[in-house]
């Protein structure tokens, strides 16, 4: 059978019924003194199992003809425990032979070119299987901190011994030269709850013998940890054991661990293990040409049953074997909705608190229709899958691909509605004009946990670099803009996401795509924590405030619509804003133990403005330079000064309950939003107003 004939057969009903294998034993297993190998390759004419004593070079010491088995699989059973043995499959199609590693391999030799037989129980550090994950809480209680394994520790200023390695995450008590905490102690001190690791599976570009740098978005062995992050990449078990040690250490610090997964494409195309074992099945194609929604040369066909099974099996393996706490899906918009929904269902059956989110877009066009893919607008069709809120990101800092484009914090006007959309967690809110956003045309989150709020990530410029390029070189203004940017993120409804080092003004010297730029550009310079300790304390204070005030972590869309009221520009409004570049709102919590009302305001212009506030006494918790849970001043009702390029958070002293009943109506030209009544429960003040926003 030719490759073209195979490709045409894959989507037929006959193929699906005959060749969809549902077993859980693909790959290698050791059972009762025997080693079982199973490969799915339905159109192969023959398959040979090759056993090697070495991890590279040399000839196999044994070659075994595999037997055709059920539903397109091939099986070989070898008497004896072959732990430590390397192996490959030689797959033959019409006289053409392809040697491939095992796509389901859980261990590998150097550089992942040969798979390895191991007993997984031998890779558990003492106490790993018994140790407990941090306590499960509501997803909106999360604060995610994204970091690359090497970046965390490789700098001479990190004080970490195991530089660039998984074990760097196990070291406690590390300090920079000036005595400030680094590593996981720093992350915990900051107040993050989750650590999102850039790809930790085995990727293609770094030579594990020589070392090197790459972000790792070029998958090679999906179920094997990256060897260059281990102390001995020749030891197939050390990379597994040391990753488990890192995860357990973070868990013991109260930090959950999220894995950045890249199932949307393979690092190489024709030569990937998936394609060599079943040509043209695992990738989307146009004829025999590979489509390329990833802009990396190919895209995977998650909608096909065995490709879907592969992704789901892999996710559940990492969840169970490594005790992970969530997954971030790279270019999630490539995956089909059914596959992602099944992942959501199966992961939450095992761990209801696990976070699942990703990029709700593609890099290029895909042949799979958009209505079938997990793009941002389809997030609302799932229950608990989240997506990055790029409307909020670019509203804050400016267009991500236009370096000199200014955002709200740099004084640009026109992004206020996008900012409000992000503040409301991307859910439907009657005071957000959906016709005036940057990218979205409708609310795409059904609940706030589906909105991952951020203004910087590993991709594109760091926050500091973007603001420097777009906003000017005045250092004090850069510091103000940085504080304001993540003050918006950390007070918005949804789940905040922080790029490692933003909290001390991390720079990559303007490199906007540093995926292979090396340690000098990418490493976290821990001396910056000393230089910018005031910025760090500001971020830390914001995290503490978020954790302590339920009003900043409302759990449902209805809670947000009911309890969050934006200032408007209507002339009759008591909650009125007269200036552009100012967004303000009052948000309340009805939770008895966390009851309270906050007034939150952001000024993106460089000049001070007068902000009207309801009568009464208000404690200042956040201003231009300080943030935290304790009052740093008092504002009396009537008005207060909102300084230029700053955030302000006030908390009502005494009982204060804002109740709002919204009625929305349309005429042929305008969408009018009415705030019918807003009452203070203490009876001290009645707020009457009307908010108008013309399209």
Q: How far apart are the first and last CA of the chain?
A: 60
Distance of alpha carbon 17 from its chain centroid, rounded? 36
Helix axes 416-423, 390-397, angle to 10 degrees: 130
CA distance 634 to 619: 5
CA distance 221 to 239: 13
CA distance 628 to 548: 10
Active-site residue flag, 359: yes
DSSP string computed for 607-666: S-EEEEEEEEEEEEEE-SS-BSSS-SEEEEEEEEEE-TTEEEEEEESS----EEEEEEEE
CA distance 222 to 251: 23
202, 242, 359, 394: which one is catalytic? 359
Distance of alpha carbon 77 from its chain centroid, rounded? 40
Give the CA-trace dihedral at 524, 526, 527, 530, to 10 degrees. 130
The total of other beta-carbon atoms located within 10 Å of residue 428's CB is 18
Distance of alpha carbon 539 from its chain centroid, rounded? 19
- Give the DSSP H/E element, type plus range, for residue 9: helix 3-9
CA angle 108, 110, 112 (to 5 degrees): 50
Residue 6 phi/psi, 5-degree rounding, is: -60, -50
CA distance 569 to 577: 5
330, 394, 416, 465: which one is catalytic? 330
CA distance 135 to 304: 36
Active-site residue flag, 121: no
E strands, 312-450, in order: 326-329, 355-358, 385-388
Residue among 537, 542, 492, 521 at smallest CA distance from 388: 492
CA angle 575, 580, 581 (to 5 degrees): 100
- Burial tier of 134 (Cβ tally within 10 Å: 0-12, 13-18, 19+): middle
CA distance 349 to 227: 31
Active-site positions read 330, 359
């Amino acid at each position: 059978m030719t490759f073209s004939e195979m490709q045409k057969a894959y989507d037929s009903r006959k193929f699906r019924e005959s060749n969809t294998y549902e077993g859980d034993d693909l790959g290698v297993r050791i059972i009762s003194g025997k080693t079982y190998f199973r490969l799915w390759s339905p159109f192969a004419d023959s398959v040979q199992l090759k056993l090697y004593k070495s991890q590279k070079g040399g000839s196999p010491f044994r070659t075994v003809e595999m037997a055709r088995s059920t539903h397109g699989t091939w099986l070989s059973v070898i008497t004896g425990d072959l732990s430590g043995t390397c192996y490959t499959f030689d797959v033959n199609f019409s006289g053409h032979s392809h040697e491939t590693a095992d796509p389901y391999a859980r261990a590998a030799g150097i550089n992942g070119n040969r798979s390895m037989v191991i007993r997984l129980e031998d890779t558990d550090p003492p106490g790993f299987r018994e140790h407990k994950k941090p306590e499960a809480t509501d997803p909106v209680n999360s604060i995610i901190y994204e970091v690359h394994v090497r970046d965390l520790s490789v700098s001479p200023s990190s004080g970490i011994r195991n530089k660039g390695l998984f074990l760097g995450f196990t070291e406690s008590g590390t300090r920079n030269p000036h005595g400030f905490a680094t590593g996981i102690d720093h992350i915990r001190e900051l107040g993050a709850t989750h650590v999102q690791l850039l790809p930790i599976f085995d990727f293609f570009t770094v030579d594990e013998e020589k070392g090197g740098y790459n972000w790792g978005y070029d998958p090679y062995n999906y179920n094997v940890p990256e060897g260059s992050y281990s102390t001995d990449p020749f030891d197939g078990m050390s990379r597994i054991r040391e990753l488990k040690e890192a995860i357990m250490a973070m868990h013991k610090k109260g930090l959950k661990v999220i894995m950045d997964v890249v199932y949307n494409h393979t690092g190489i195309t024709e030569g990937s293990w998936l394609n060599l074992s079943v040509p043209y099945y695992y990738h989307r194609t146009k004829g025999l040409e590979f489509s390329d929604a990833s802009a990396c040369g190919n895209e995977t066909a998650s909608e096909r049953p065995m490709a879907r099974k592969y992704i789901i099996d892999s996710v559940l393996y990492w969840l169970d074997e490594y005790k992970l706490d969530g997954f971030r899906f790279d270019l999630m918009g490539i995956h089909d909705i059914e596959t992602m929904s099944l992942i959501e269902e199966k992961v939450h059956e095992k761990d209801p608190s696990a976070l699942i989110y990703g990029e709700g877009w593609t890099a290029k066009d895909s042949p799979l229709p958009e209505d079938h893919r997990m793009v941002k607008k389809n997030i609302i069709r799932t229950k608990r899958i989240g997506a990055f809120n790029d409307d909020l990101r670019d509203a804050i800092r400016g267009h991500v691909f236009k370096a000199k484009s200014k955002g709200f914090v740099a004084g640009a006007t026109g992004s206020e509605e996008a900012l409000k959309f992000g503040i409301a967690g991307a859910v439907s809110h009657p005071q957000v004009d959906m016709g005036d956003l940057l990218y979205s045309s409708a609310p795409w989150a059904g609940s706030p946990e589906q909105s991952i709020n951020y203004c910087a990530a590993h991709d594109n410029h760091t926050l500091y670099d973007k603001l420097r390029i777009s906003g000017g070189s005045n250092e004090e203004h850069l510091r103000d803009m940085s504080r304001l940017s993540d003050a918006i993120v950390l007070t918005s409804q949804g789940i905040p996401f922080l790029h490692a080092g933003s909290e001390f003004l991390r720079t990559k010297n303007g490199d906007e795509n540093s995926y292979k730029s090396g340690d000098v550009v990418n490493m976290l310079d821990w001396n910056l924590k000393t230089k910018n300790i005031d910025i760090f304390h500001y971020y830390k204070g914001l995290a503490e405030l978020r954790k302590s005030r339920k009003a900043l972590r409302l759990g449902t869309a209805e809670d947000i619509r009911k309890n969050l009221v934006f200032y408007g520009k209507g002339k009759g409004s008591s909650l009125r804003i007269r200036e552009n570049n100012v967004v303000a709102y009052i948000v309340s919590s009805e939770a008895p133990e966390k009851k309270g009302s906050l007034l939150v305001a952001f000024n993106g212009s460089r000049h001070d403005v007068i902000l009207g506030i309801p009568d009464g006494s208000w404690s200042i918790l956040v201003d231009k330079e300080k943030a935290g849970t304790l009052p740093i001043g008092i504002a009396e009702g009537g008005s207060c000064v909102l300084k230029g390029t700053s955030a302000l958070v006030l908390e009502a002293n005494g009982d204060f309950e804002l109740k709002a009943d919204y009625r929305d109506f349309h005429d042929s030209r305008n969408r009018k939003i009415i705030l019918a009544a807003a009452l203070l429960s203490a009876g001290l003040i009645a707020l009457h107003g009307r908010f108008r926003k013309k399209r």
